[in-house]
Chains A and B, each alone.
Chain A
Amino acid sequence: MPDTTRQERFEQTVLPHLDAAYNLARWLTRNEQDAQDVTQEAFLRAFRFFDGYQGGNMRAWLFTIVRNTCYTWLHHNRPAEAAEEFNEEIHSPQDSGPADPELQLLAQADRESLRRALEELPDVYREAIILRELEGLSYKEIADVASISIGTVMSRLARARTRLREALCAPQAKES
Chain B
Amino acid sequence: MSCKLTQSYVSGYLDGELDLVHKIEIDQHLESCPDCARELESLRSLRAALRGNQLAYAAPAALRGRIESALASAAPAETRERKSAWRLPPMWQWAGAFAVLTIFAVAAWRIVPALTGASAEQRIAAEVFTSHVRSLEGDHLSDVVSTDQHTVKPWFNGKLDFSPPVEDLAGDGFPLAGGRLDYLEGREVAALIYKRRLHVINVFVWPGASGTVSARVLAPRQGYNTIEWSRGGFHFWAVSDVNPADLAEFARLLQARIAP
User: Which A residues are within 8 Å of any B CB, using their own CB?
Assistant: 3, 5-7, 10-11, 15, 18-19, 21-23, 26-27, 32, 35-36, 39-40, 43-45, 47-49, 52, 54, 64-65, 68, 71-72, 75-76, 95, 97-98, 100, 102-103, 106-107, 109-111, 114-115, 118, 129, 132-135, 138-139, 144, 146-148, 150, 154-155, 157-158, 161, 164-165, 168
Q: Are B38 and A146 in contact (CB under 8 A)?
A: no
> Is B21 part of the binding interface, using a Cβ–Cβ cutoff of 8 Å?
no
Cα separation A166 to B35 with both chains bound (whole Å): 17
Within 8 Å by CB of B59, from A22, A48, A71, A107, lies: A22
Partner-contacting stretch, out of B43-51, B120-128, B154-162, B185-193:
B43-51
Cα separation A8 to B71 with both chains bound (whole Å): 10
Q: Which residue of A lies closest to B46 (CB)?
A: A106
Q: Are B173 and A68 in contact (CB under 8 A)?
A: yes
Q: Are A47 and B38 in contact (CB under 8 A)?
A: no
Residues of A within 8 A of B82 (CB): 3, 5
Given A44-B74, A54-B243, A95-B7; A132-B15 close (CB under 8 Å):
yes
Residue picked from A100, A109, A110, most chain B C-beta under 10 Å? A109
User: Which B residues are within 8 Å of any A CB, using their own CB?
Assistant: 4, 7-8, 10-12, 15, 17, 35, 38-39, 41-43, 45-51, 53-60, 63-64, 66-68, 70-72, 74-75, 78-79, 82-83, 171-175, 196-197, 243-246, 248-249, 252-253, 256
Within 8 Å by CB of A72, from B58, B66, B246, B253, lies: B253
Q: Are B45 and A107 in contact (CB under 8 A)?
A: yes
Residue picked from A43, A47, A135, most chain B C-beta under 10 Å? A43
Cα separation A110 to B54 with both chains bound (whole Å): 10
Q: Are B57 and A161 in contact (CB under 8 A)?
A: no
Residue picked from B8, B38, B63, B248, most chain A C-beta under 10 Å? B63
Cα separation A111 to B55 with both chains bound (whole Å): 7
B241 nearest CB across to chain A (Å): 12
